[in-house]
Structure 1
Amino acid sequence: MKYFYKLLDFYIESSLHVAFAVYALIRITFLKLNLAYDEPVAYFGFYGTIVGYNFIKYDELVRVRRVALSKRFKAIIGLSFICFWITLYYFWQLETITKLLGIGALFLTVLYTIPFIPNKSNMRNWSGIKIFLVAVAWVAVTVWLPVINAHYPIDILVVLKSLQRFILVFVLMLIFEIVDLQFDDLYLKTIPQQLGEKKTKFLAYILLVVFILLDLLKPEFTLKVFLINLVFSIILGLFTYYASKKRNKYYTSFWVESLPVFWLVLLLIS
């Protein structure tokens, strides 16, 4: 079991798990908009997530704090280096307009990590902004990237799916923030810090109701997809209900981040 947990920790800490979540959401966009599978978009999202997330998580440790590099840390850096070149390979296969969106996502990642204004903190430490920033970034990568690269028209369906995806990521982040209450500094002013745990959960439940209701507004409404989304929302609601600062790291970093993959599986087997 010791070696299993070491392998699991590497899998999570290297951002492979969150990359599969992003990949799953991109695949869901293909399915829901009836788009042909686009390998460059899917793999750009997957490998780019590994590079971006690892840069966000570990840049300050290496660049500022000069933390000693353990074997696991070196392996993560090595993996990130390989994924960077794979990301670049798929980047050049994207449409020109999609490349611009990818560059925008890169700029957001750098801005999130490195302060551009001297003696000011980076965007990650701006009070209350983190959750919105992450949600917008995930919508851009998992909805707009596939849509724009396929030259799909920006219609009401895309707008509704963008809103649903924003709500989904926002609720996922609320669960993270509830569990991280024991670790987050007060100056971050996260939503659970400002509203409290119970009110934050209530907010998540309201958002999940909106998530489901948006399905009813779609031009191509189907009962089967609606029921799948309903089941998924109930499961997400249960994870919200049982979230607390007493939960261990695997509750969010593994189980909660597995939910987009579970959603994809539900859609595929249907």
Structure 2
Amino acid sequence: METLKSIFRFYINGSIHVAVAITSMVQITFVKFDISDQYFFLLLSFFGAITAYNFVKYSNVSKLYHKRLTRSMKGIRFLTIFCALIYAYIIFQIPLKTLLFLLPFVALTVFYVVPILPKKKNLRNLAGIKIFIIAVVWSGTTVLVPMLHVNNTIDLNVLIEAVQRFLFIIIIMLPFEIRDLQYDDATLETVPQKIGVTKTKVFGSILLVMFLLLTPVKENVLFSSIEILSTILVTSITLFFLWGTERKQSEYYCSFWVESIPIFWLLIIVVLQGLFT
């Protein structure tokens, strides 16, 4: 049992779970736009997500404590280096145009950690914008870059999907901000710090309504029973987890269950496709 717990903790702390969630969102984009056989790009997303997230989470830890790393941290460092090497290999295999589309989001991720502003500030420490930067990176790398990689163009449906994804990511980040209230510096001015927990949930619910109502705005090519029903179901699941969030929560409420919502979303679409086609 302890071995299974250790494996699960490594799966979560090594950012493997969040990488599966991000890769799921990329596949959601491909499925919605009827694009198949993009396994290479999915691998790019998976290994890139592990590399980026562990860089963001553990760069300071590794720098300060590399001589005293625990066995778990040594494993995470090895995993990160391994994934970074595979990511670098894939980067050199993709078209230059895709790399150029990806570059701004990679830069945002780097500057999220590396100080580039006066007083040695990075983007993560700028008041009030943390989750919006994350939402820009996620929506860009799970909708815009995949579609530009395949089609070289962005039409109305893709733009609406990107806006929906941006809203969705902000919403699923709110439980994390509620969880981190006791740890975040007041200068960060996160949403719960500014308006409180209950109003944060109301704010997230309003964004969910906007997320849902954008679906009928799409052109008819995507306006199908699968699109409507899957959006309603994922909205309901997200609303459930949003309102179930408390300041004191179980260890894996956010890091496993909330981060599983994109995986649930993909599974819902796959099941509905099996039922309706």
TM-score (norm 2): 0.93
Deviates more, 1:9-18 or 1:120-129: 120-129
Does the alignment pair 1:222 with 2:219? no
Q: Which runs of 4+ in 1 moved over 6 A?
A: none
Asked if the contact 1:48/1:87 (under 8 Å) is kept, the reply is: yes
Unaligned runs of 5+ in 2: 273-277
Does the alignment pair 1:120 with 2:120? yes
Query: 1:125 is matched by which residue type in structure 2?
Result: N
Deviates more, 1:57-66 or 1:186-195: 57-66
Query: 2:136 is matched by which residue type in structure 1?
Result: V
Asked if the contact 2:144/2:154 (under 8 Å) is kept, the reply is: no
- Counterpart for residue 143 of structure 2: 143
Between the aligned partners of 1:106 and 1:10, the Cα distance in structure 2 is 25
User: Counterparts of 1:179-190 in structure 2 under 5 Å?
Assistant: 179-190=179-190
- Counterpart for residue 261 of structure 2: 259
User: Counterparts of 1:100-111 in structure 2 under 5 Å?
Assistant: 100-111=100-111
Between the aligned partners of 2:148 and 2:100, the Cα distance in structure 1 is 11
The C-alpha deviation readout for 1:31-63, integer Å capped at 9, x for no partner, is 111112312211111100000110111111122
- Counterpart for residue 133 of structure 2: 133
The C-alpha deviation readout for 1:160-191, integer Å capped at 9, x for no partner, is 10011001100011111112212212111100
Q: CA offset at residue 264 of structure 1?
A: 0.3
Between the aligned partners of 1:180 and 1:94, the Cα distance in structure 2 is 38
Does the alignment pair 1:79 with 2:79? yes
The C-alpha deviation readout for 1:66-92, integer Å capped at 9, x for no partner, is 672111111111111110111112212
- Counterpart for residue 70 of structure 2: 70
- Counterpart for residue 275 of structure 2: none
TM-score (norm 1): 0.96
Q: CA offset at residue 98 of structure 1?
A: 1.1
Between the aligned partners of 1:96 and 1:151, the Cα distance in structure 2 is 14
- Counterpart for residue 242 of structure 1: 244
Asked if the contact 1:41/1:145 (under 8 Å) is kept, the reply is: no
Identity of paired residues, percent? 37
Q: CA offset at residue 8 of structure 1?
A: 1.2
Unaligned runs of 5+ in 1: none
Between the aligned partners of 1:204 and 1:117, the Cα distance in structure 2 is 30
Count of residue pairs the alignment pairs up: 270
Between the aligned partners of 1:37 and 1:71, the Cα distance in structure 2 is 38
- Counterpart for residue 175 of structure 1: 175
Between the aligned partners of 1:64 and 1:187, the Cα distance in structure 2 is 24
Residues 1:186 and 1:66: Cα distance change in structure 2 (over 3 Å)? farther
Query: 1:223 is matched by which residue type in structure 2?
Result: S
**Partner SS for 1:24:** helix
Residues 1:67 and 1:135: Cα distance change in structure 2 (over 3 Å)? farther
The C-alpha deviation readout for 1:101-152, integer Å capped at 9, x for no partner, is 3332222222111112463221111111110000000011100121011025
Deviates more, 1:222-231 or 1:126-135: 222-231
Q: CA offset at residue 5 of structure 1?
A: 2.1
Query: 1:169 is matched by which residue type in structure 2?
Result: I
Asked if the contact 1:111/1:122 (under 8 Å) is kept, the reply is: yes
- Counterpart for residue 25 of structure 1: 25
